Amino acid sequence: MKAFTRTKYGGPDVLRLEEVEKPTVKDGQVLIKVEANSANPADWHILRGKPFFARFTLGLLHPKDKIPGADFAGIVEQAGNNVSHLKAGDHVFGETLEGGAFAAYTSVPANVCAIMPEGTGFSEMACVPVAGITALQALITHGKLKAGETVLINGASGGVGHFAVQIAKAYGATVTAVCSDKNVAFVRSLGADHVVAYDKENIHQHTGKYNLIIDTNGNLDYKDYKRMGQRGVMVGFTTMGHMISLILKKATGKFPLAQFTAEANTGDLETLALLVQSGQVKVRIEKTYSYKEIPKAIQHIEAMRTMGKVAMVWENVDGAL
Ligand SMILES: NC(=O)c1ccc[n+]([C@@H]2O[C@H](COP(=O)([O-])OP(=O)(O)OC[C@H]3O[C@@H](n4cnc5c(N)ncnc54)[C@H](OP(=O)(O)O)[C@@H]3O)[C@@H](O)[C@H]2O)c1
């Protein structure tokens, strides 16, 4: 089968499209014929082996996992032993943080997959897992958002942010979205009640008050959370120094600030599937690439200015590499 592989750390140009062996299915896993992927900032962090301490998990000198890729949607070809909720032929979407998704076939634990809602497409649903799960868990699992509350979402126009705006609205919150001026109309179209353009108004001097602050961009300071919010959730970070400083202040201060690593599970994927099916969440795809252009899609994401998501489709896979 075809797959993108790499043997060293580096930019998207270290990826090679190669013929490799199709993966086998272990107990609890499903083998999926991949129809589409999406790219996330985690893909380029993993490709580059950055931040450096991540290499203690990813492989100190060389990457341990040859095939990268997390988000996928596709068709179950085979279900392993002890898999009860999926069978061959099911259309599924999911994520694997162990890599392996940028390939024509991937074998993943069944508990990081869910059935695609009827009427949805592979590229649409491949965009949901990492960013959608992160938005859902930031708002609901860690942010404890309740209907009628107010939430400020910093970084509202990207993958995580555009899902967060729509999920917060679906749960009955009033949403203030922070994005660049060029994306104001985009975040309003997602349902944001108020918008702050960070290149027109300094967010570090914003005087609004909110029940919950979600920072997907990662440039908010501890004093910003305290000034604007009753509780906060850190999703992304702009620099390592900023991350360490916030985590130290969180450990020593009293403000309820959560930091987490999103984890896929079938239940949360099913919640997202229902939100997509009901039309409360619409997947907004800025650009769709062919699977052959997966390195370009990662380059696109690395600029950190994506509006919604980028998708990659595995069409016309037979033929020359
Ligand atoms: N904790 C976790 O488990 C977890 C999981 C997934 C992702 N993350 C992290 O979350 C972050 C966002 O991920 P993503 O997938 O949403 O990335 P993305 O799709 O690349 O979006 C990045 C967004 O950042 C916005 N942005 C850039 N500068 C900004 C600023 N100064 N103020 C506010 N927004 C700004 C951009 O919007 P404009 O173009 O409008 O500026 C863009 O839409 C990344 O750091 C990622 O690593 C964490």
Cα–Cα distance for residue pair 116/73, rounded to 1 Å = 8
Nearest partner of 108 among 154, 145, 135, 71, judged by Cα:
71
195 lines ligand 1 (CB under 6 A): no
Q: What is the CATH number of the domain that holds 52?
A: 3.90.180.10
Enter the tokens of residue 48: 């580059």
- State whether the beta carbon of 305 lies less than 6 angstroms from ligand 1: yes
Amino acid at 30: V
Domain presence at residue 271: no
CB 187 within 8 A of CB 177: yes
- Is 70 close to ligand 1, i.e. is its CB under 6 Å away? no
Model pLDDT, residue 316? 79
Find out whether the beta carbon of 178 lies less than 6 Å from any atom of ligand 1.
yes
* Same domain as 144, residue 247: yes
Whether residue 276 lies inside any domain: the answer is no
Distance 118 CA to ligand 1 centre (A): 29
Query: What's residue 108's pLDDT?
Result: 97
Query: What's the pLDDT at 256?
Result: 97
Ligand 1 proximity of 153 Cβ (cutoff 6 Å): no
pLDDT at 319: 57
- The residue range of the domain holding 17 is 2-128+283-313
The response to whether residue 244 sits with its C-beta less than 6 Å from ligand 1 reads no
Residue 65: predicted pLDDT: 84
Question: Does residue 167 share a domain with residue 252?
Answer: yes
Helix (H, G, I), strand (E, B) or coil at 202: coil
pLDDT for 54 = 87
Residues 111 and 144 in one domain: no
Which atom of ligand 1 is nearest to 180's Cα? 40
Report yes or no on whether pTM surpasses 0.75.
yes
Which of 224, 243, 301, 305 to mutate for ligand 1's pocket (most ligand atoms within 8 Å of CB)? 305
Predicted confidence at residue 321, as pLDDT, reads 53
Q: Are residues 138 and 205 in the same domain?
A: yes
| Residues 186 and 227 grouped into a single domain | yes
Q: Residue 234 carries which side chain, given as an amino acid letter?
A: M
The residue whose CA has the least distance to atom 25 of ligand 1 is 155
User: Is 36 in the same domain as 155?
Assistant: no
Determine, yes or no, domain membership for 99: yes
Check whether residue 176 and residue 199 sit in a common domain: yes
pLDDT along the chain (321 residues), means of 10: 96 96 97 98 94 88 92 98 96 94 98 97 98 98 98 98 98 98 98 98 97 97 97 93 91 94 96 98 97 97 96 81 53
- Are both 149 and 239 inside the same structural domain? yes
Domain identity same for 189 and 289 = no
265 part of a folded domain: no
CATH number at residue 231: 3.40.50.720
Residue at 318 is within a domain: no
Residue with tokens 């014929």: 33
CA 9/CA 140 separation, integer angstroms = 35
| CA dist., res. 165 & res. 168, Å (int) | 5
Indicate which residue's Cα is closest to atom 12 of ligand 1.
Answer: 216
Q: Give me the pLDDT at residue 320, please.
A: 54
> Do 58 and 97 lie in a common domain?
yes
Count of structural domains within the chain: 2
Give pLDDT, residue 317. Answer: 76
**321 occurs within a structural domain:** no
Same domain (yes/no): 108, 181? no
Distance 155 CA to ligand 1 centre (A): 6
